[in-house]
Amino acid sequence: MDPPEKAQKRRNAAEPTAAQDGGYAWFILVSCFFVFGLTFGVIKSFGVFYVEIQRYFETTAAGTSWITSITVATIHIAAPVASALSTRFSHRSVVIMGGLICSAAVVFGGFARNLTELYITVGFLNGFGYALTWTPAVTMLGMYFEKKRPVANALASAGECILTFSLTPLFQLLIDSFSWRGALLILGGLQLNLCVCGMFLRPLRNIRFSCKEVQENLPIEDLDETKLIFRKESELNILELSAQETIKDCVEDPDETSSLTKTSTSCQKRTKLRTTIKYYVDYTLITNGRFMVYSMFGVFAALGFFAPSLFLVPYARSKGIKEYQAAALLSISAVLDLFGRVFFGWVANLRLVETVQQLTATVILLGTVLLLCPLASTFSELVAFSAAHGLVYGATVAIHITVLPEVVGVERLGSALGFFMLIRSSGGLLGPPIAGFFIDKMENYGTGFIMSGVALIVSALFLLILHQMNRRGRGTITATNTAHK
C-alpha cells in the first residue's frame, strides 16, 4: 500500500465526521486564535527585547533585527515542510511537536552567549516550531469554514492582536524584574500552550462517494453542500488518474510498443513517485499564473509587514518617550488591529466588493500611513500613528489569507499556503535587516518606516494585476457559455 494511502487509511479510521461552519469548527477557531497569538503575537511583541539585547551585546539595530528576521523567514521557508508533515501524519501531531520545539528553542535562547546563538535558537529553531504550529492550524481552519471563512480568519487572527496587547507590557515587566534572559525563560514556558492548541485540532473525515450516488440520494437543494467533498474526492484520486494518463502516454508511443509490459511497469513507478510527492506537496502550483502573482504580492508585503512593529518602540525611545509609554504604543496598535480584523473581516464576508479589491485598498492605505510615520515625534502623535497603523494593518491581514483559497481552491489550500509562505520568505527575511540598514546609515528609525511603506505600495500593484487576471478569466468563461447557448 502506498504511503499516502496508508496515511489516509489511518486518518479515516480515527477521524470523526464534522460539519462545516459550525459545531466543532468553533473549537478549531479558538485553537487557531491562540496559535496566532503565541506565534505572530510574540513576534510583534518582541520589539521590547531589542533595546536590552542591543545594549547587552553592544550591537547595531540591523544586527539585532536579524533575530526576528530569521524567525519570520524560517516560518515561511518551513511552511511547505509543515504542510507535507501534516499530510503524512496529522495536523494535530505536527502542531504539538512544533509547540515543543518553540518552547525548547526560547529556553535555550535565554542562555545565549552571543548574537549567533540567539539567531540559531530564538531565530531559526523557534521559527521552525512556529511553522509547524501556524501552517497546519490555518489549514484546518480553512477546511472547517467555507461560507464564514472571512469572518473565521479574522476572528482567529485577532489572537495576534490580543496577545500583542497583553504580552508587550508583560514582557517589559519581566525584563525589568528578571532581565531579558529571565523573560525568555518564562516565554519558553508560555509557548508550551501551543501543544494544548494542537490537541484541539480534530481532523475532518474525508468521506468518499461518487457524484452519481449523491445525485440519486440527495435533493437538489442539498447538492451545493457536497461541493467541497467532491473536490476532496478529486484530490484523493490523483494517484489513480495520474497513473492512468501516464501509462496511456507510454503505450501510445510507437517506439515503445514492442516492450509494452516493461514500459508500463516503468511508467507506473515514475508516476507513483511523482504523484506521491504531489500528494504531499502540490508542486504544480508554480505553474498557476494567478497564484504566482499573488505570491509576489506576498513578497513585497512581507518587506513592510514586520519591520514597523519591531522598530516602533526603539523609534519612540529615540524621541525621548519613556519605556512603558513606548511599550504602550504597541498595545494601542494591537487594540485597533483587533477592531480592524474583526470589522473588515465581517465586511469581506458581506461580499460587497471583491476580496482582492478590498485588500488592494487597505494595502495602499497601510503603505501611506507608514510613509507618514516620520512626521510623528510627540507621544500624542505616536499614539495617533499607532492607532491608524493598527486599524489598517488589521484590515489588511484579516483578508489576505482569505484570498488564497479563492485563487487556488480550498482543496489545494494546504500546499498553496506552504508555497505562498515559502515564496514570501524572502520578504520576511530581508525586510527587518534592510530597514535596519537604512536606520543605521541615516541614524533615524523613521527611515525604516519609509522603506516599509514603499514596499507595501509596490505590493498593491501585484493585486491590481491579479484583479485584471480575474476579470479576464470571468470574461472568457462568460464568452464560452454564450457560445454554447
Q: What is the pLDDT of residue 262?
A: 60
Helix (H) or strand (E) holding 2: none
The answer to whether 455 touches 431, Cβ cutoff 8 Å, is: yes
Reported as a single tens digit per residue, the pLDDT across 97-127 is 999 999 999 999 999 988 999 999 999 999 9
> Per-residue DSSP letters for 184-234?
HHHHHHHTTHHHHHHHT-PPPP-----HHHHHHHS-GGGGGGGHHHHHHHH
For 163, the grid coordinates are: 496577545
Confidence of residue 153 (pLDDT cuts 50, 70, 90): confident
Q: What is the pLDDT of residue 182?
A: 92
Average pLDDT over residues 44-53: 82
**Residue 286 CB neighbours (<10 A):** 11
Confidence of residue 242 (pLDDT cuts 50, 70, 90): very low
Spatial CA neighbour of 191 closest among 74, 44, 49, 39 = 39
What domains are there in the chain, each with its CATH number? 3-205+282-481 (1.20.1250.20)
Spatial CA neighbour of 94 closest among 62, 139, 49, 156 = 139
Distance of CA 455 to the CA centre of its chain: 19
Reported as a single tens digit per residue, the pLDDT across 94-104 is 999 999 999 99
- Residue 17 has what DSSP assignment? P
Confidence of residue 462 (pLDDT cuts 50, 70, 90): very high
List Cα–Cα distances, 24 to 15, 34, 143, 431, 481, in angstroms: 13, 16, 12, 38, 40
Q: What is the pLDDT of residue 127?
A: 92
Average pLDDT over residues 243-268: 54
The answer to whether 91 touches 203, Cβ cutoff 8 Å, is: yes
> Per-residue DSSP letters for 313-357?
HHHHHHTT--HHHHHHHHHHHHHHHHHHHHHHHHHHHTTSS-HHH
The answer to whether 338 touches 328, Cβ cutoff 8 Å, is: no
Confidence of residue 270 (pLDDT cuts 50, 70, 90): low
Phi, psi (degrees; rounded to nearest 5) at 379 = -65, -40
pTM: 0.64
Q: What is the pLDDT of residue 23?
A: 77
Reported as a single tens digit per residue, the pLDDT across 349-402 is 787 888 888 889 999 999 999 999 888 888 999 999 999 999 998 888 878 777
For 127, the grid coordinates are: 521559527
For 226, the grid coordinates are: 457536497
CA gap 165, 187 in Å, rounded: 15
Confidence of residue 231 (pLDDT cuts 50, 70, 90): very low
Q: What is the pLDDT of residue 215?
A: 41
**474 vs 393: which has the higher pLDDT:** 393
Q: What is the pLDDT of residue 471?
A: 78
Spatial CA neighbour of 431 closest among 370, 345, 387, 384 = 370
Q: What's the chain's length in residues?
A: 485
List Cα–Cα distances, 399 to 234, 395, 463, in angstroms: 27, 7, 13
**268 vs 394: which has the higher pLDDT:** 394
Give the range among 151-155, 225-229, 428-432 with minimum mean pLDDT: 225-229
> Per-residue DSSP letters for 92-134?
HHHHHHHHHHHHHHHHHHTT-SSHHHHIIIIIIIHHHHHHHHH
